[in-house]
Structures are given as C-alpha cells and as structure tokens.
Structure 1
Amino acid sequence: MRLVRQLLAVAAVAFVGGQALTAAEDHPWLQLLIGVPAAALAVLVYRWVVGRTERRPVTEVALEGAPSAIGRGTLVGVALFGAVIVNLFTAGYYEVDGLGSVSGAAGLFGFMAAAAVTEELLFRGILFRVAEERVGTWIALVLTGTLFGLVHLLNPNANAWGAVAIAIEAGGMLTAAYVATRRLWLPIGLHFGWNFAGSGIFSTEVSGNDTPQGLLNSVTSGPTPLTGGDFGPEGSVYSVLFCVLATIAFLWLARRRGNLVPRRTRAERADATATLPR
C-alpha cells in the first residue's frame, strides 16, 4: 500500500499543477509563477508521504547539495541537447531565423520545471526505487524505463520509435543518474535542462508536443531518423547516441561507488516485505 499512497499523493499534485498550467497557457509569465511553486510543492508532498509510509529519513531529496546538483544536471541536459542541435545545424537540418519569444521561454521554464520534478518523483523516486528493492537495479531500470517510454505514446505525434527512443534516452539516462548519486536532484536537473533546451531555447517539439516558441525562431526539417520528424529531436539517432553514452558514464560511476543493487532471492524479498510498514 505504500506504493499506492506515494503514487496517489504525488500524482495528485502533478494533476492539479498540470491543470493550472494548462489554464494559464496563454499567459506565459503566469505559467512561470505557477510552475516553480508546483515543483516545490511536489517535492514537499513526496518527502511527507515517503517519510510517513516508510518511516525513514527521505535522503533522496535531502536539501544539502540540492542547488549545485540541480545546476550541474541542468547544464549537462542543456549541453546534451545542444550537441544534438549542433549536429542537425551542421548538416543543414536546423535553421535559425532570428530571435523568438522571451515570454514564451519564461512560460516554458515554469512548465518544464513542474514536469521534470513530478515525473522524476513518480518514475525514479517511487516506481524505480520500489522496484529496485525487489528485483535489483538492472531489471528495475529496464522495467521502469520501458514504462516511461510507453507513457509517452499518449503524447500528440507520438509513435513507436519515439517511445523506444524515450525509453532508452530518458528511462536509461535519468535512472542511471539517480543510481549514481542516490539523490533525485541530478536527474531532475538533467530532465529539466534537456526539456527546456529543446523547447525554451531551441524551440523544437518535445516528445511529440508542439510547444510555444522559445528564445530562438527556428525550423527543423530533414530525414526523420536524424531530426526525429514530428516527434522532435528526441526521436533523432543523435539523441539516442548521446544519451546512451551519458547512461554508460553514470552506470560506470554507480558501479564504482557500489550503488548497484543485486537482485534479491525470494527469501530475501519476503524478509524485506515483512519489515515494511503497511
């Protein structure tokens, strides 16, 4: 029941925040004012419900070192997406026609902040963490990564390849970032930096969603395998390549730090389940 309680609590905040952001879609500055507090509220609710249901210090969202970890993750996320854009630009598949909208970028900042935080709390903080206790790091990574990709099939302009790409890129890289640090701040920063770079800076589609114009007025066109087509650059082979390399680096760091959890035997899972609060 702890899994259900945790999911319901965080999902409720995500739903209310999402509805508020949608209602303010024509007012980007208001989206900024809604999105950032909604992200902070989601963290507080996560800390409360996990602490209450598991009766332990919720170290994965400990405030110590949070700003620097979020900052590093954001920089890495922006750099990774920027590398994709550089490849598209040099190949002639991405063109900039001038400056876009500062207010649009501000609204996307708030929207992507709320999305990154709530999705990381749900998928890495709850689903992966609980699954890892039962089946170990590797199986939990594959299962939750696959689920993360499948969820994105609900997006506009979604397709099977886009779901596979998201499962590999985000499901793998963001989970690996959590395993490497055992904190949610780095994957939150990575998630936000990647999404905001795609929408708020380079003005491309994000996971099949047509977002408002960001800082650059741009056009992406060319072969779907390279540009991602209507799904956006996340469906590009460049994105898959760079995120796989980042995933390998994070998993190497996790192994070096001894953060990988082996699969438990049936007896060990039974003992662990018996000690969990209901």
Structure 2
Amino acid sequence: MNPPSDTPPGLLRQVFASPPARVLLLGFVLLMMMGLNADVMTSYAGQPVKSVQHILALAVAGFAVYIGHARLVEQREADELRLQGMGREFGIGLLIGAGLYTACELALMGLGLYRITGLNPLSFLVPAIAMAVSSSVFEELLFRGVLYRSVETWLGSWAALAVSSLVFGLSHLLNPQATLVGALFIAVEAGILLGAAFMLTRRLWVSIGFHMAWNYTQSAVFSSIVSGNDAAPGLIRSTVNGPDLLTGGQFGVESSVLALALCTTTGVVMLVLAVRRGQVVPPAWRRPR
C-alpha cells in the first residue's frame, strides 16, 4: 500500500495551472513544436505540398495541446479557441492582414520605391502557406494565448499587452537578417495590434487570421522579406529601392514607418473599442473580491 501524499492533488493542480507554470510548461511544449515546424519546412523545402500537409497536422496538434492543457490542468474551457464564430473572426483577421500589407506595398509603389518587373506561375503561391500557418498558429498560441493571458491573470490587460508585445518583438531578433529597430517596430505595430485583437474579442481567431494573411501576402504575393528572414520568390517579381525608413531595408516592410503607422493606428482603434466594451481586465489587487 502506498503511503498517503502530503500534497493534496488540488494543490498540485493549482501550482501547475498558475500563470508562471503555464508559461514554463505550455510555453516550452509550444516552443518545441515550433522547432518541429522549422525542421519540417527545411526537410520538405522542395516539396511544398508535403510541407503544407505536415504543418497543418502540427497546427492541429498544437491546438489539441493547448485545449488539453486548458481542460486537464487549468480545468476550464478554452473559450479563446471556441469554434462558434470562428469563421467570421478568422475571416476578419485575414482581410485586415492582407489589406494592411497590400496598403503598405501600394504606398511604396506610389512613391516609386517598389516596382513590379513580372509575374511568376501561380504555383509560386504554394510554398509560403506552410510558413504562414506555422508562424500564425504557434506564435499566437504562445504570445497571446499563453503569455498575454498569464500576465493578465495577475497584472491586468495593460501589463499583459506591454509584456507580450515586447517579448514578441524581441523574439524576432533570432531571424537571420534581424535588426533591433525591426524587432522594436514589430513590438509596437504588431504586438499592439495582435494583443488588442485578443483584448477586444477575448479569442485568438482574429489575431491568427491577421498574422497568417500578413505573412502570406508579404511572401507569397509580393515576394518580400518577412521579419528579417531571407526573401523567397512569390507571385510578383519586383525590385525595391529606397530609404530603409520607408522600405524596411533588410528586415522587410515591418521595419518601415508605413507599417508602423498603419498597424499601430489599427491596433489603437481596437484598444479604444476594447475599453468602450469593458474588455480591459484590471490587476488582481484591484478586482472586486
């Protein structure tokens, strides 16, 4: 007969479900899965359809891990991934992401800095799907689903927005052509917008849709550099010449004042809506008991 444990099962569950443990445990698992994503895309670099198939399977597994942790460890429903209304919110995110990025490129074209030189076959639209799905699903689960929610539990929405935005931006310093300016721009423009989308809707679908469409449009359609990663050929063949402040230079359009202005403005609008709708969570010590 086993001796009785001195630690109640409920206490252990509370420890593992606490915000720090959530970041460490669930965050670690998601990071490992992101590493698998990178391995898959490298292994199937010349087989884009197989790469997409494997990445989609890993994305489903990532959702399952996140939902499983919520139900089994946190003992709650993962409402932020509820399927009801998913199509509408995901679609809105796709439209905003594709629209804002296209607006950036159109502005560069209007300034004579981005010139279209030709078109590639439609098959060039396929390879970027894997990258767009991988980055959007796993980065949103990690930075908004895990980090933002964990910080918000104790410190409230504004601290969660600041911390998740900064960490999200600085994580892009790991990319091959990364710059500190580019990482800080992402922290402001994308960190605020994506965090605001979660704050406003309390769900991840808008932020996943935006993230996916932005990256896909950037790479697959306009053949542009994505967040300091090496550019891959997409549908449009083009040349970019001009000051880094406008073009983003080696980091890509995210490091341009155009993206900073458009995305930050959109994020601020979402924050205003979140405040008006009472979606801002105060710090734990200021909540009614």
Report 1:1-80 matches (<5 A). 1-80=21-100
Contact 1:5 / 1:49 at 8 angstroms: preserved in 2?
A: no
Q: Does 1:219 align with 2:243?
A: no
* Aligned equivalents of 2:104, 2:222: Cα separation in 1: 11
Q: Which residue of 2 aligns with 1:190?
A: 210
Q: Which residue of 2 aligns with 1:88?
A: 108
Q: Which residue of 1 aligns with 2:125?
A: 105
What amino acid sits opposite 1:261 in the alignment? V
**How far did residue 38 of structure 1 move?**
2.1
2:145 alignment partner, one of 107, 125, 132: 125
Contact 1:31 / 1:111 at 8 angstroms: preserved in 2?
A: no
**How far did residue 249 of structure 1 move?**
1.2
What amino acid sits opposite 1:18 in the alignment? A
Contact 1:101 / 1:216 at 8 angstroms: preserved in 2?
A: no
What amino acid sits opposite 1:43 in the alignment? F
Q: Which residue of 2 aligns with 1:257?
A: 277
**How far did residue 9 of structure 1 move?**
2.6
* Aligned equivalents of 2:38, 2:86: Cα separation in 1: 24
- Once the two structures are superposed, what CA deviation does each residue of 1:122-164 show, in whole Å capped at 9, x if it has no partner? 0000001110111111111111111111111111111111011
Aligned length: 269
Report the TM-score when normalising by structure 2.
0.89
What amino acid sits opposite 1:202 in the alignment? F
What amino acid sits opposite 1:8 in the alignment? F
* Aligned equivalents of 2:47, 2:264: Cα separation in 1: 36
Task: State the percentage of identical aligned residues.
Answer: 37
2:166 alignment partner, one of 133, 146, 168: 146
Contact 2:225 / 2:232 at 8 angstroms: preserved in 1?
A: no
What amino acid sits opposite 2:198 in the alignment? Y
For residue 217 of structure 1, give the secondary structure of its aligned residue in structure 2. strand
- Once the two structures are superposed, what CA deviation does each residue of 1:73-106 show, in whole Å capped at 9, x if it has no partner? 0111000001100110000110111112433321
Contact 1:70 / 1:185 at 8 angstroms: preserved in 2?
A: yes
What amino acid sits opposite 1:240 in the alignment? L
Contact 1:104 / 1:212 at 8 angstroms: preserved in 2?
A: no
* Aligned equivalents of 2:74, 2:94: Cα separation in 1: 30
* Aligned equivalents of 1:68, 1:19: Cα separation in 2: 32
What amino acid sits opposite 2:23 in the alignment? L
Q: Which runs of 5+ in 2 are unaligned?
A: 1-20
Contact 1:93 / 1:221 at 8 angstroms: preserved in 2?
A: yes
Q: Which has the larger radius of gyration?
A: 2
Q: Which runs of 5+ in 1 are unaligned?
A: 272-278
Contact 2:22 / 2:146 at 8 angstroms: preserved in 1?
A: no
Over the aligned positions, Cα root-mean-square deviation in angstroms equals 1.7
For residue 158 of structure 1, give the secondary structure of its aligned residue in structure 2. coil
**How far did residue 37 of structure 1 move?**
2.4
* Aligned equivalents of 2:185, 2:120: Cα separation in 1: 28
* Aligned equivalents of 1:102, 1:157: Cα separation in 2: 27
Contact 2:124 / 2:235 at 8 angstroms: preserved in 1?
A: yes
